[in-house]
Amino acid sequence: MRAAPDYYSYYKATVNDSTRHPRLEGDEVADVCIIGGGYTGLSTTLGLAEKGYAVTLLESFNIGWGASGRNGGQLIHGIGGKSYLRKKYGPDIEAFINRLCWRGHEIVEENIKKYDIECDLKYGYLDCAFKTRQMSDLEEEFEHYDSLGMGDRFRLVSANELSDYIGTSVYKGGLYNDRDAHLHPLNLCLGEARAAAGLGAKIYEQSQVLSITHGREPRVHTEHGSIRAKIVVLAGNAYHLLEQKHVGGILFPAGTYIIATEPLGDNMAHDVLPADVAVCDLNEMLNYYRLSSDKRMLFGGRCNYSGREPRDIKASIKPRMLQIFPQLKGTRIDFQWGGKIGIVINRIPQLGRIGDNVYYAQGYSGHGINQTHIVGEILTAAICGQMEDFDVYAKAKHWKIPAPRWVGNNMVALGMMYYRIRDLL
C-alpha cells in the first residue's frame, strides 16, 4: 500500500549506492523476520546480524522508501515522552533517560565508522527561539546539560550573536550544541543495508507483507512467498496496516514536506548559514532547515495532521523559507517532496509484543534518526533475552481511537490548531 506519493527527492537524486535487492520468491526460513526497510528495521537487522542471527528483512518498496529516506536529515538528541516517563516511573527513570539521550548518535557514528558509510555527517545544531518564553526554555535546557557536565558542548546564543550561525533577524536567540549533527538520511539507510547484507542478512525489496500467521513459529506472507521465523518484528511505522487489531488507533500518520533549492554557491550559503549548522525553531508547527553538502538550502516544515497532501509543496513551503531568509527570493527550487511520520499523542515511542514472538516498534513523532537506532538496539537486546529497556516502553499506556485514519487524524489536527494559534501569539 503506497500511503504517500513516491516523490523524487534531493536524496534520491544523490544516492551513492545503486544496489537493488530481489523480490521474495518462494518459502524460506529465518531466525528473525523484520518487516520494514527504514531505520528501525535496518538497525535491528544489523544488530542481530552482528550477533550471528539469521535475519530476513522484507520491504514493500525499496530500502529507505519511507520517512527514513525522506526526512530532514537532522540527528538530534533526546528520547520522546520524557514527561510521561518521569510521571510513571519517578526519579529513578532519570538514569535511563540520560543513558539513552545520546545513544542514537553513538550507534550511528559507530555504524558509519565500522562500515565505511558515506552520508555527509557534519556536526553542529541550533535551536532558535521566536519568543521570550521560548528563550527561557532554552536557558533551562542549558542549565540541565550544564548540571550533567555537558556545558562545554552547549552555548546560549543571544540575538546579537546569532549572526555567527544564521543569516536572519527573526529570532530572539538560540541554543547551539556541537554534538547534534546533520547527514544524508537515505545514504545512511543504504549503507546500513549494505552492512547488514555483508554480515549475511537477507534483504528483499518489492515484497509487501500481506498477512502474518501466528503460532510457535509465525509465517509472514507476501504475494510471491513467505518467511517462517521464530521472531517477527513490525517496523513499518506510519506506512503499514498490519495487525491493526493490536496496534491500530494508537499511531497517527502526519505529513511533513521539504524543498531543496538550487546550489547557492559559497557566498550565499555563507550568508544564510555561516556555521553550516542544522536548525529547528521552537514553534509547535516548526520549520527545520540546513545546507546540503553541495550547498543547497533544504527547508522543511508544514506538518500536516489531517492526512491530506498539499497540491503544491513548493508553493506551501517556499513562503516559510522566505520569511526566514528573504535574501533567497528568486532562488530556484529544484526538488520538493514529503512523506509520513508516525505521531503519538504522548510522544513516547510505542514498543510492544503481540503474543510472545511478534514485536512492534513505531511512533517517533518526527525525531526518528536518533530514536530509531536506540529502538533497534533495544529490540535486538530484547530478542536476545534482555528485556529491561524494552519493558520500560512496553508498559506505557497509549490512547486508542477508533478509525484512526480518519477520526484520529482529524482529532489530532484539531488539537494542533490550538498550537498554531499559540505559535502566533
Number of separate domains in the chain: 1
Is residue 6 assigned to a domain? no
Encode pLDDT of 202-231 as tens digits.
Answer: 999 999 999 999 999 999 999 999 999 999
Nearest to 358 by CA among 200, 206, 213: 213
Is residue 23 assigned to a domain? no
Is residue 92 assigned to a domain? no
Is residue 160 assigned to a domain? yes
SS3 362: strand
Cα dist from 323 to 57, 74, 318, 320, 326, whole Å: 43, 21, 9, 5, 6
Task: Return the pLDDT at 422.
Answer: 46
- The pLDDT profile of the chain, 425 residues, written as one tens digit per residue, is 444 567 899 999 999 999 999 999 999 999 999 999 999 999 999 999 999 999 999 999 999 999 999 999 999 999 999 999 999 999 999 999 999 999 999 999 999 999 999 999 999 999 999 999 999 999 999 999 999 999 999 999 999 999 999 999 999 999 999 999 999 999 999 999 999 999 999 999 999 999 999 999 999 999 999 999 999 999 999 888 899 888 988 888 888 999 999 999 999 999 999 999 999 999 878 999 999 999 999 999 977 766 677 889 999 999 999 999 999 999 999 999 998 899 888 889 999 999 999 999 999 988 889 999 999 999 999 999 999 999 999 999 888 876 555 554 454 544 444 344 344 45
Q: Torsions phi, psi of 359, nearest 5? A: -95, 155
Is residue 70 assigned to a domain? no
Q: Which domain holds residue 175?
A: 122-182
| Helix (H) or strand (E) segment spanning residue 317 | helix 313-324
How many helices (H) and strands (E) would you count in the chain?
13, 17
SS3 15: coil
Beta bridge partners of 359: 233, 353
Mean pLDDT of the chain: 92
DSSP string over 199-239: TT-EEESS--EEEEE-SSS-EEEESSEEEEEEEEEE--GGG
Beta bridge partners of 232: 33, 358
CB 179 within 8 A of CB 140: no
Is residue 131 assigned to a domain? yes
Torsion, Cα 126 130 131 136, to 10 degrees, reads 0
Say what the pTM is: 0.93
Is residue 177 assigned to a domain? yes
Is residue 166 assigned to a domain? yes
Q: Cell numbers at residue 119, please?
A: 552520508
Amino acid at 294: D
Task: Return the pLDDT at 345.
Answer: 84
